[in-house]
Chain A
Amino acid sequence: MAVVETRSLTKVFKEGELGAVNDVNLVTREGEFLVFLGPSGSGKTTLLRMIAGLETPTSGEIRIGGQVVTHMTPRERRIAMVFQSYALYPHLSVYKNIAFPLKAQKVPKEKHREKVEWAAGLLGITRLLERKPRELSGGERQRVALARAIVREPSVFLLDEPLSNLDAKLRASAREELEEFHHRIGTTTIYVPQDQVEAMAMGDRVMVLHQGTVRQLGSPTEVYDKPADTFVATFLGSPPMNLLDTEDLIVGVRPEHIAPIELSPNAAVRFHARLQNIEYLGAEWILYLKVDGGQFNGKDLISRLPSAASYRMGEAYDFGVQERDLRYFDKQTEKRTEPRVVAWQ
């Protein structure tokens, strides 16, 4: 178990262009499950690969367990990685796949069996040990990849979208198993999720990346309820946060906080909006609104409601937002600022 640290870590692929990873500073906590979240191209995979030793940083430093590893080969870093495709060795049996890291680290042969069986037992794949990877299902392969990673008892786990190759139904249960696995093992884990849902569900902390820079590092609650800037605010949450331009600030409101005025009588902000489109998703409704009149006339808003059966398209309704649900962002820096009194019309 160790702490992963990066200092001013940068990776530039093409000279003169913006780097894939720019000046990233990071300190993990012992045993935490840290998630790298961001749109494609945000640098999360590059960052992960640099920590693994599969990419050389252009500048900056990486430390694992206090030791500087920036120019060490992956082998010397005592980390384990699970790839998106699992990268199982197709010509070796499951047993030999799991034993391979032990062989590579010159662990004496007598110890192999007990360690492999321990790892396999942890992941419930003991009965698969003699099979070849091509005979396994997606979920089974994923577990073999994890067993191979854990067998060396590494100090850090790196996982690159390990659930993407599973079909949707399997993904949810696999996610649960992974979380449980992490609780049991307690190794510091850095995880690149397939989507936000995975990130929020699994992470102890979430690091939001955009164009190679860290926008925010915090618990899921923090990044969702107290986004550091408009990017984080609109990236997390589906449908995204609504942003309103006032004279001196940008004000943000999440769709679930735009309620019918009857439910929000002492609302700080009111809208009179016409219903453009409505989607029924079973557990909730998504309303696409256009503000009718007032300061934000013509602005498009999205709202989420648990029930909206009585709403008619084209009709106008009144909505309100509570003060505590408003978020304020500086117009220039787009960073979150303290709540201020805003001139509402």
Chain B
Amino acid sequence: MVRGAARTVFQNIAHWVTVIVFTVLLAFPFYWMLIATFKQSSDLYNITANPFIFNAKPTLENLHLLIYETRFLRWVANTTLVGILVVGITLLLALPAAYALARLTGRWGQRLGIGIFLTYLVPPTLLFIPLSRVVALLGLQDTIWSVVLVYPTFTVPFSIWLLMGFFKSIPKELEDAAMVDGLSRFEAFYKLVIPISLSGILTVVIFTFTLVTQEFVYALTFISPESNQMLGVGVPTFLIRGDVYFWGSLMAACLIASVPIGLLYNTFLDRFIAGFTVGAVK
């Protein structure tokens, strides 16, 4: 396009106004969390005080309460541990399955691939009732192992679908050449295909991890004790004592949990989109 003439001043202003309006609407609650985290209780629980500024000096009180007087750090640890375990299980299940679907099962491969994707559409809010029984029967009720067992149900189908797309974009000739050179197909898989797909695998890892941190329903259903709880459930549930909400600490917890995940996601977003469109094309 002829840039000189086309982009008028008016269009520029309209562009910026739109960007700012949307950004404010979307990011405002996080600004809110930021401010509330450092506000003194007297400032926070004052109806007349201007909420946008610090009317009393900023304080670290809320953070202190959060870290030392609640199980917050424990929840972070739990969630991280579960995340790592679930990522491991997911990769273990999804990598070979995706490869098999992409390469080996031919005609059936397509149908199975779609079938796998469809299972992703079965929501936790449908399965959680029967699964609560299953978890109880297995004796995993109230432990983190209940969610370690169940979380792959939503990470595995999507990961298979994503990885299938990545694998399909690797030319078959690469493995054929390796097999001519003497490798077995399985060796070709883990010595050749996996290293090449590292970027795709990384995308799946990040995405799986963020899915784990965001989960709510299963953790709420299967785990009751405070010390075994996940981040997403612990914060809203246990930072409320009776009818009293510890808003300062609540906001601090939300902020601490959201921002790192946000940064992680943002960094890998482009890769993720590439994977998504590659997978979608198939």
Contact = CB atoms under 8 A, between A and B. Distances in A.
A121 to B, nearest CB: 33
A53 interface: yes
A54 B2 CA distance: 6
B4 interface: yes
Contacts of A71: 2, 4-5
A145 to B, nearest CB: 20
B2 to A, nearest CB: 5
B11 to A, nearest CB: 13
A242 interface: no
Nearest to B1: A54
A72 interface: yes
A51 to B, nearest CB: 12
A218 interface: no
B10 to A, nearest CB: 16
Interface in B256-276: none
Contacts of A73: 1-2, 5-6
A119 B2 CA distance: 29
17 contacts: A53-B2, A54-B1, A54-B2, A55-B2, A56-B2, A56-B3, A56-B4, A71-B2, A71-B4, A71-B5, A72-B2, A72-B5, A73-B1, A73-B2, A73-B5, A73-B6, A74-B2
Contacts of A74: 2
A54 B3 CA distance: 9
Interface in B1-41: 1-6
B6 to A, nearest CB: 6
A73 B7 CA distance: 11
Nearest to B3: A56
Contacts of A55: 2
Interface in A45-99: 53-56, 71-74
Interface residues of B, number: 6
Q: Which of B2, B3, B5 has the most A CB atoms < 10 Å from its CB?
A: B2
Contacts of B6: 73
Most buried by B among A54, A73, A74: A73
Contacts of B2: 53-56, 71-74
Given A56-B3, A71-B2, A71-B5, 9 more contacts: A53-B2, A54-B1, A55-B2, A56-B2, A71-B4, A72-B2, A72-B5, A73-B1, A73-B6
Contacts of A56: 2-4
A74 B3 CA distance: 11
A55 B4 CA distance: 10
A73 B5 CA distance: 7
A228 to B, nearest CB: 33
Interface in A148-179: none
A204 to B, nearest CB: 29
A55 B3 CA distance: 8
B7 to A, nearest CB: 11
Nearest to A53: B2
Nearest to A52: B2
A55 B2 CA distance: 6
A59 to B, nearest CB: 12
Q: Considering the complex of A and B, which 5 residue pairs feature the smallest CB-CB distances, nearest first?
A: A56-B4, A71-B5, A53-B2, A56-B2, A73-B2
B45 to A, nearest CB: 56
A166 B5 CA distance: 36
A72 B6 CA distance: 9
Contacts of B4: 56, 71
A159 B1 CA distance: 18
Contacts of B1: 54, 73
A74 B4 CA distance: 13
B4 to A, nearest CB: 5
A73 B3 CA distance: 9
Nearest to A71: B5
Interface string A280-312: 000000000000000000000000000000000
Contacts of B3: 56
Contacts of B5: 71-73
Contacts of A54: 1-2
A53 B3 CA distance: 10
B186 to A, nearest CB: 40
A74 B1 CA distance: 8
Contacts of A53: 2
A9 to B, nearest CB: 14
A71 B5 CA distance: 7
A6 to B, nearest CB: 16
Contacts of A72: 2, 5
A56 B4 CA distance: 7
A74 B6 CA distance: 11
Interface string B182-210: 00000000000000000000000000000
A53 B2 CA distance: 6
A55 B1 CA distance: 6
Interface string B59-96: 00000000000000000000000000000000000000
